Amino acid sequence: MADPQTCGSVGSYAKLLVEDSDIVGDYDPATFDSNSERYEFLRETITYSDVLLGGNGITGGIDPIAAHLRSGTRIVHGQIFMEVGPVELSAWLPRIFGNTDTPPTFTTAETFDLTPFDLFIRRDQGDSLYRHCAVNSAAFRCRASIEGEEQVMQMMLDIIGYQEHGAETWPVTEPALPSSNELYWLLGDGKLSLDVDGDATLQADEEYYFDAFNLLIDNNLVPQTRNFLRVTCLQSRGRKIRLQVSTPYTSSTHTDLYISRFDGKGQLNFLGTKNLSGTSESTYTTTIDFPRLVQTRRTPNVSGPGEIPLSLDLEAFRTSSAEPITVTNSTS
C-alpha cells in the first residue's frame, strides 16, 4: 500500500463540469447537478492567479523586505484541450461565436454577445469552481496519420474568467458518462472545397486534398478590472478567423491557390458517412461555410527528401450578406 503522504493527486481522476453562468439578480454561482455538462478532456491549465506588489523600495540593503507586500488583481485564465465531435460542438459553438443560435445552425454576429459559463474542475484531492468564464479563442486541429491520435479533431479553448469560488461542493449525483456512441471527428472524415472559378458554387472538381488543418477563432477578449482587484468586464476588441491547411504541392494547387492568390468561398465538411466505419456515424455531419476566404501566399519550401507541402493561410471575412463563418452541425 502506498504512503498517502508521498503519493500525490493524479490526472486520471480529474473531472470537468460546465454550466451556463447566472447573469441576472445576484450573479450566484451556477448550480451543478446530474444534468450539468460533463466532458472528457486531455489536459487543462486553468489557474486563478495574482502577482505580488510592493516591497520594491530602497531599504539600505540589497534584499527586499516583505512588510509592504500586497496581492494584486486576480484573474482566471488557461486552456482546456479535448477531442471533439458534433455533440461537443453543439454545446460550445454558441460560447465560441458569442451568439445564442438554435441548432443545427450556428453563426457569428456583428455584435459579440458574451455567453458566460462556470467551470467546475475536480483535481483528485480538491475542487475548483471558476466563475463567469468566456472563450477568448478556440482552435480546432487534426493531422493525417496511420496510428497516431493526431488524426482525431482536437479543440483548444483559451479561457478568461472573473474569479474562483471556493464554497461550492461537488454534486452528490454527478452527470453520467455517455452510455451510447458520441463519436469524434477524424481528419479522414473531412472534405475541403474552394471556389476557384469564382462562380459562388462549389463543384466536384473544386475539392482539394489536405494533410492537416487548423481553424482559429480569436475573439480577442480584453479583461477590464476598473478599481477592483478582480476582473469585472470582458470586451472583444475585434474577432479574427483563420484557416490554415496543408495541401499536396501539385500543379493544380500551385496554379489555382498559390499563383492566383485564392479569394473566394470555401467549405470544410465532415461527413460521418464518408468512410462507413460505423452505422451510428451516418447521422453525423458538421459543415463549416466561409463566404469569403482570402489567402496570404507563402512560397513552398523543401525541408527534406519527402513530399513538398503547399501551406494555405486563409483569413475569413464577412460579406454584405453573410457572416464570416457558419457551422451546420447535426447529431441526429
b (16+ CB within 10 A) / e for 192-205: bbbbbeeeeebeee
pLDDT for 278 equals 54
How far apart CA 80 and CA 315 sit, in angstroms, is 24
pLDDT tens sequence across 208-232: 999 999 999 999 999 999 999 999 9
pLDDT for 129 equals 95
Cell match 459553438: residue? 93
CA angle at 94 for the pair 93 and 96, rounded to the nearest 5°: 60
pLDDT tens sequence across 134-180: 999 999 999 999 999 999 999 999 999 999 987 788 999 999 998 88
CB 93 within 8 A of CB 329: yes
pLDDT for 313 equals 96
How far apart CA 286 and CA 182 sit, in angstroms, is 14
pLDDT for 3 equals 66
Per-10-residue mean pLDDT for the chain, 332 residues long? 74 95 82 96 95 91 92 96 96 93 91 89 90 97 95 98 86 92 91 93 91 97 94 93 95 88 94 62 85 94 92 96 95 80
> DSSP 3-state assignment of 187?
helix
User: What is the distance in angstroms between the CA of the first residue and the CA of the last residue of the chain?
Assistant: 48
pLDDT for 62 equals 93
